[in-house]
Amino acid sequence: MHKLSNIKIFIVIGIAAIAVLIFSTVIRSCSNEKIVLAKVSHVLVETDQAISFADSTKGAREWLWEFGNGDKLSSARGQYSYQEPGKYQIRLTINNEREKYFLIEVKNPIDTESQNSIISIYAPSKAMQNELVIFKGIGNAEKWRWEFGETGMVDSREKKTLYAYSQPGIYDVLLSTETTKYPIRHQIEVIAQYQENDTTDVLSLIGLDIKENLQAIALGKSFNLHYNKILNKYLCQDANTLVVINNNKYNDFYSYCQGLKIVGKANKTIIENVLVDLDKENNTCIDKITVIQYDSNQQIQKP
């Protein structure tokens, strides 16, 4: 009798173990089906330099690679090269439902001959207050001395360095090396961060700037230039930022700009007004753009 009870216990334990194994296998299978197994070969390239892209997602039947400049490919793998410098967001859509994003930075090739003959500064001309800015010395030298114009002293001795300005203003950046007689100069404008007491005015200015760039896209001007300016300057590189059009249509920012590029010029789309909302958790990023627009040959239907 005792042996029979033990056998029953072992059977119950065995069944439970098998059930747990089956359950965990199903869970892993379901999880794996949601994972997009895709990659690109480089995230920093020069113009005309090919990048390789490939997807091996389980169950994938359809692929749509969108390269952030209007170009698209519908194969599982391949190669692509950019013709213009800038930052591009690649979007891969699997079976018209699952997505994955890659951020690619494209630069012009460095002229080696010029690089060896003269020292220069690679840095932006504008930055936000307290934003970490990359300063890079171009050329051949062993000793690098950076003065960023805020402290009145040498701030760094590295060829490539980071610096954040604590106060807004216009600063002269000086770079000295053992091969230069006089410092190399670069001017940078530091823009004040958003302040609680002037948020409305700042948001109005941002709305006007976004409006101008969207209108440029609608007129068929450089998509990459104007799209990336909004994406990087105001949206914290979030291409999925919500865009509300005429208070009754909705798109993510990437899709909206692509549509504006394709149909905007043909339909003579006019961007009448742009309103923006700050992300409540990160008040340096815009999390919603409201656009009022209409075709020039039609009257706008205001809500």
Full 3-state SS string of 231-278: HHHCCCCCCCCEEEECCCEEEEHHHHHHHHHHHCCCCCEEEEEEEEEE
Work out whether strand 160-164 and strand 132-138 pair parallel, antiparallel, or are unpaired.
antiparallel
Band of pLDDT at residue 265, cut at 50, 70 and 90: low
Q: How does pLDDT run across 179-237, given as a tens digit for each residue? A: 898 999 999 988 876 544 444 467 788 889 999 999 999 988 999 999 999 999 888 88
Is the pLDDT confidence value at 281 over 80? no
What pLDDT score was predicted for residue 19? Answer: 63
Q: Which pLDDT score, from 0 to 100, does residue 283 have?
A: 64
pLDDT attached to residue 5: 61
| Order of strands, sheet of 144-147, starting from the edge strand that comes earlier in the sequence | 126-128, 184-191, 169-177, 144-147
pLDDT above 90: residue 2: no
Over residues 19-28, mean pLDDT: 56
Local structure of 158: helix, strand or coil: coil
Q: Using 50, 70 and 90 to split pLDDT, how confident is the model at 11?
A: low
Q: How many CB atoms lie within 10 A of CB 253?
A: 22
Least confident of 32-41, 57-66, 123-132: 32-41
Q: Is residue 259 pLDDT above 50, yes or no?
A: yes
Domains of the chain by residue range: 38-107, 112-191, 196-295
Interatomic CA distance for residues 123 and 144, integer angstroms:
15
pLDDT at 3 over 80: no
Strands 242-245 and 286-295: parallel
pLDDT at 116: 53
Fold of 196-295: Nuclear Transport Factor 2; Chain: A, (3.10.450)
8 Å CB contact between 87 and 105: yes
- Bridge partners of 294, per DSSP, are 270
114: pLDDT strictly greater than 60:
no
Given a cut of 80, whether residue 280 has pLDDT beyond it is no
Task: Characterize the bridge pairing of strands 126-128 and 184-191.
Answer: parallel
Structure tokens at 104: 């690619």
Instruction: Answer with the residue of higher pLDDT: 136 or 283.
Output: 136
Query: Quick one: pLDDT at residue 32?
Result: 47
Residues 24-45 have a mean pLDDT of 67
What is d(CA 64, CA 135) in angstroms, rounded to the nearest whole number? 37
Closest C-alpha to 209, from 276, 258, 262:
276
In the predicted model, what is the mean pLDDT of the chain? 81
Do 297 and 268 meet the contact criterion of CB atoms below 8 Å apart?
Answer: yes
Q: Which spans in 53-193 are helix H? A: 112-117
Task: Identify the pLDDT of residue 54.
Answer: 92
Tokens of 43: 């995230």
Q: 38-107 and 112-191: same fold?
A: yes
Q: What pLDDT shows up at residue 192?
A: 77
Nearest-CA neighbor of 189 among 169, 203, 209? 169
Inform me whether the pLDDT recorded for 31 exceeds 90. no
Structure confidence by residue, pLDDT tens digits, 228-246: 999 998 888 889 899 998 8
Instruction: Domain 38-107: state its class.
Output: mainly beta
Cβ–Cβ < 8 Å for 298, 246: no
- Residues 154-173 have a mean pLDDT of 92
112-191 to CATH, choices 1.20.1560.10, 1.10.3720.10, 3.40.50.300, 2.60.40.10 = 2.60.40.10
